[in-house]
Structure 1
Amino acid sequence: MKRMFFVSIMVALASQISIGLMSSNFRVSAGIIFYVIFLFYYEDLKPIPTGILSGIIVNLFRAIMYYITVGNFNSAILSFQIEILFYTFYGIIYHLLTNRYDKKNLNSLFFILFISDFGANIIELFIRSIISSTSFPWEIISTLILVAIVRSGIAWLILNLLKHYEMLLRKEEHENRYKKLLWLTSQLKTEMYWMEKNSDSIEKVMANSYELFELINQNKDKESWSERAVNIARDIHEIKKENSLAIRGIKEITQKDLKDQEMSFKDIVNILVETMKKEIKRIGKDIKLEVSIDKNFYTSKHYYLMSVFRNLVMNSIDAISDAGNISIIHKAYPEQHTFIVSDDGVGIDEEGLKRIFSPGFSTKINYDTGEINRGLGLSMVKYIVEEELEGKVKVESTKGKGTTIYINIPKTSLEVDEI
């Protein structure tokens, strides 16, 4: 309602620029140009109520200006009141035509504006002739056609200029984002080198640790135990130093250039789905990923949500041997958001469910190499959900049938106003 009132005020101000065509106070104004421009950009504006309100305020402004200049408005008040009909019928015709034609196509919009302008003027003239008991002024039809063409053309031209200006701004914004992305990528490549190196080193340490475990378990080669343990400790220390440098470098980059902003949940899910589908394709599994969003919302906790869903989906991918299904279901309730991530993978037995959130616990161990996958995934999910987002997480699973994880997060901890 506030926006409608603002638009009507602007239309009324613009309507003061007008020319008279007849001695009967019939005038054409520039207000309608502002009216259609606002309707084009504010899609939530309803043409008919906005037209009626604009006509009333235009009438009020005209009456005030007439009173200031003439001293009374008795002689013109009927003419001003009838002018309300022009904006009303313009809104009606515009509404009917935009329901049939695409108003976003500016060429189609010119046709809509011309018919609305000419039609509303004809209706207003017809009513004036009935009220004043005079014949219809056919002699000004050609003038009204010209006025409709000129006003519609001016509005069309302004909208085209604004559209091209927006495209230039958008192009400049995209170029700036691209330059920034290139700069960030060049900075992150250095940190990625150390992270990739550390991944190889971690695999080596895990294999050495498992080999030492086997020797201790079988009570073999005792004289090498201490040296192997020292080598493992030294390797871990080196990994820790390099990892700390990488983390510090990434933190400096993200804190400086990637400051938190609000993001819609729909965008978060789109990024997640695109990334996970690429991962599924990379590993060569036949997995169908389905997503259902109840109601979109904006959040500043998008990094947390992305970490949670990425871990859960990756766990589900690992739990499916060759082919299967993963679903993410979102439900919005008055006080909370509920997220349900489920798969039809191998599932978890009762003993595993008791330790599922313990740091280091994993159901994915290669007993030939000692390789352990994502032992911190669910413990991190639990920490983020319960400590950072003030929510709750629950797991249900049946061995051989799959796993379902329920996450409930209060709206007050997650939502922000739309930007």
Structure 2
Amino acid sequence: MKDYKKMIFVSLIVALASQVNIGLINSDFRVSAGIILFVVFLFYYHELRPVPTGILSGVMVYILRLIVYYVSKGHVNDVIISYQLEILFYAFYSIIYSLLIGYGNKNNINFIFFVMIISDFGANLIEIFVRVTIDTSPSPWKVGTTLFLVSIVRSAIVWLVLNALKYYRMFLMKEEHENRYKKLLWLTSQLRTEMYWIEKNMDHIEKVMSESYELFEKINLNEDNESWANRALTIARDVHEIKKENGLVIRGMKEITENELKDRGMDFKDIISILSETMKREIRRLDKDINLVLNIGENFYTSKHYYLMSMLRNLIMNSMDAIPDSQKEAKIIVSHEIDQEQHHFIVSDNGTGIDEEGLKHIFSPGFSTKINYNTGEVNRGLGLSLVQYIVEEQLEGKINVSSKIGNGTSFHIYIPRRTLEENLK
């Protein structure tokens, strides 16, 4: 339903823009500005289907031109058939555009420029050929050069508009990234303050552990019985202080993350761009032979960007850890698809895989299959439990995993569109 509403909106705007036109030959054949906006909308709204949108735009242009003609002339008998060829132009423009756009990168403005020239010229030629059969329009061979020049000029205008919008958007993104960086510095300084209390509590915890062990030894050896009560009371008092200070730290960190991180959202493609850059840098740091492939589907805007970034980052890091240093041609693939109801994210790797017993406990806090036998370091095992919490509790989704020893692991995440997309609230 949302896509149909957008298609109708685009068609109405194109119809209005088509009223800016000039007549190049002695007939009802006119060159309008409507097609300029038509291509701009196709470029920025990838979910629009070119052919249905083109046909609907042609119908809207036809209806609006009839209305304008009737208001000015008082009748439409002379132009009912002739104006119908506007539909023919938009239909064939969109068909040619749709066929050619699949042969290149539809985000490349220079490629779009050449597609527009061919689409514009081809659609105009077809319209002229048809007009020759129903009125006194000049032969296509006589106006072919003019039509080709028109297609170049009109396509060049679209090229300039798209480039202007691109650089303006880059300027806004640069400004937004600078603001985010300033906010990040401020958040870091606040978090460092909270880290001071955490470090202080670590020393306090070590002291309590030492006192607890000493009390255990006294009780075990049945020594110094009269001090047991006071020692136990001191330990309880110290634990209470640690709990109180930890409560202050948690409250402080919640205030930072809940208040300061309430900024504007991001486009999903920008999230993926940042994620790709940081994860590829991490792969280089680990010196592993891993090819990271990120395939995003339809772009969308979300204020849940921190959750998405954390979720995908943890899953990618998990896949990196699952790939041995010696493995060659390792691959991690992040895919994204959207249907009418939900987003589907897939993070898969061709690493060592996980056995059936491991899969049963993979989301349990503390569980880990990643041990460095050279250093004795064990992964703390919080990443996947955190991912599950984000997906199920914060984003109202679900996550499942499949794996086979020697063949790698795949995580599938399903999140409702209404949870992620701002305009579906």
Same fold (TM over 0.5): yes
Contact in 2 for aligned 1:55/1:84 (Cα 8 Å): yes
Per-residue CA distance 1:113-157 (angstroms, 9 max, x = gap): 111111111111111113347762423222212211111111110
**TM superposition shift of 1:214:** 3.1
Per-residue CA distance 1:89-115 (angstroms, 9 max, x = gap): 111111111011222111111111111
Contact in 1 for aligned 2:11/2:53 (Cα 8 Å): yes
The structure that has the greater radius of gyration is: 1
**TM superposition shift of 1:174:** 0.7
User: Following superposition of structure 1 onto structure 2, how do residues 334-353 of structure 1 map, counting pairs within 5 Å?
Assistant: none
Per-residue CA distance 1:356-389 (angstroms, 9 max, x = gap): x9xxxxxxxxxxxxxxx99x99x99999999999
Counterpart position of 2:86: 83
Counterpart position of 2:251: 248
Which letter does structure 1 place at the counterpart of 2:253? I
Contact in 2 for aligned 1:262/1:416 (Cα 8 Å): no
User: Following superposition of structure 1 onto structure 2, how do residues 48-67 of structure 1 map, counting pairs within 5 Å?
Assistant: 48-67=51-70
Question: Which of 2, 16, 19 is the aligned partner of 1:16?
Answer: 19
**Sequence identity, in percent?**
57
Please say if 1:178 is aligned against 2:184: no
**TM superposition shift of 1:213:** 1.7
Greater shift, 203-212 or 144-153, is seen at 203-212
Structure 1 residues 234 and 411, CA gap change in structure 2 (3 angstroms): same
Which letter does structure 2 place at the counterpart of 1:249? G
Which letter does structure 2 place at the counterpart of 1:95? S
Determine helix, strand or coil for the equivalent of 2:419. Answer: coil
Counterpart position of 1:113: 116
Counterpart position of 2:235: 232
**TM superposition shift of 1:390:** 10
Structure 1 residues 386 and 191, CA gap change in structure 2 (3 angstroms): same
Which letter does structure 2 place at the counterpart of 1:121? N
Q: Give the distance between the partners of 1:24 and 1:389, measured in 2 at CA.
A: 59
Contact in 1 for aligned 2:395/2:420 (Cα 8 Å): no
Contact in 2 for aligned 1:261/1:300 (Cα 8 Å): no
Structure 1 residues 161 and 386, CA gap change in structure 2 (3 angstroms): closer
User: Following superposition of structure 1 onto structure 2, how do residues 279-318 of structure 1 map, counting pairs within 5 Å?
Assistant: none
Which letter does structure 2 place at the counterpart of 1:190? T
Question: Which of 211, 217, 225 is the aligned partner of 1:214?
Answer: 217
- Let me know the Cα RMSD of the aligned residues: 5.6
Q: Give the distance between the partners of 1:384 and 1:126, measured in 2 at CA.
A: 60
**TM superposition shift of 1:60:** 1.1
Counterpart position of 2:29: 26
Contact in 1 for aligned 2:42/2:50 (Cα 8 Å): yes
Structure 1 residues 2 and 219, CA gap change in structure 2 (3 angstroms): same
Contact in 1 for aligned 2:21/2:31 (Cα 8 Å): yes
User: Following superposition of structure 1 onto structure 2, how do residues 184-223 of structure 1 map, counting pairs within 5 Å?
Assistant: 184-222=187-225
Greater shift, 234-243 or 167-176, is seen at 234-243
**TM superposition shift of 1:74:** 1.6
Contact in 2 for aligned 1:33/1:155 (Cα 8 Å): yes
**TM superposition shift of 1:238:** 3.6
Contact in 1 for aligned 2:397/2:415 (Cα 8 Å): no
Please say if 1:72 is aligned against 2:90: no
Q: Give the distance between the partners of 1:391 and 1:40, measured in 2 at CA.
A: 31
Structure 1 residues 260 and 161, CA gap change in structure 2 (3 angstroms): closer
Contact in 2 for aligned 1:37/1:155 (Cα 8 Å): yes
Question: Which of 89, 92, 97 is the aligned partner of 2:95?
Answer: 92
Counterpart position of 2:338: none
Contact in 2 for aligned 1:59/1:80 (Cα 8 Å): yes
Contact in 1 for aligned 2:391/2:415 (Cα 8 Å): no
Structure 1 residues 98 and 198, CA gap change in structure 2 (3 angstroms): same
Please say if 1:257 is aligned against 2:260: yes
Please say if 1:157 is aligned against 2:188: no
Determine helix, strand or coil for the equivalent of 1:157. Answer: helix
Show structure 1 runs of 5+ residues with no match. Answer: 289-294, 318-333, 338-342, 358-372, 393-408
Q: Give the distance between the partners of 2:34 and 2:388, measured in 1 at CA.
A: 59
Please say if 1:45 is aligned against 2:80: no
Per-residue CA distance 1:220-264 (angstroms, 9 max, x = gap): 343553453344234324423432332333233234213499999
Greater shift, 159-168 or 122-131, is seen at 122-131
Q: Give the distance between the partners of 2:390 and 2:121, measured in 1 at CA.
A: 62
**TM superposition shift of 1:159:** 0.6
Structure 1 residues 16 and 181, CA gap change in structure 2 (3 angstroms): same
Which letter does structure 1 place at the counterpart of 2:242? I
Please say if 1:124 is aligned against 2:123: no
Structure 1 residues 123 and 177, CA gap change in structure 2 (3 angstroms): same
Show structure 2 runs of 5+ residues with no match. Answer: 291-296, 322-340, 345-352, 365-378, 399-412
Per-residue CA distance 1:309-352 (angstroms, 9 max, x = gap): 98xx99xx9xxxxxxxxxxxxxxxx99x9xxxxx969x89xxxx
Q: Give the distance between the partners of 1:388 and 1:116, measured in 2 at CA.
A: 47
Greater shift, 252-261 or 182-191, is seen at 252-261
Determine helix, strand or coil for the equivalent of 1:24. Answer: coil
Please say if 1:6 is aligned against 2:5: no
TM-score for both structures, normalised by structure 1: 0.67
Which letter does structure 2 place at the counterpart of 1:120? A
Contact in 2 for aligned 1:194/1:246 (Cα 8 Å): yes
Structure 1 residues 169 and 301, CA gap change in structure 2 (3 angstroms): closer
Counterpart position of 2:294: none
Structure 1 residues 26 and 175, CA gap change in structure 2 (3 angstroms): same
TM-score for both structures, normalised by structure 2: 0.66
How many residue pairs were aligned? 367
Determine helix, strand or coil for the equivalent of 2:31. Answer: strand
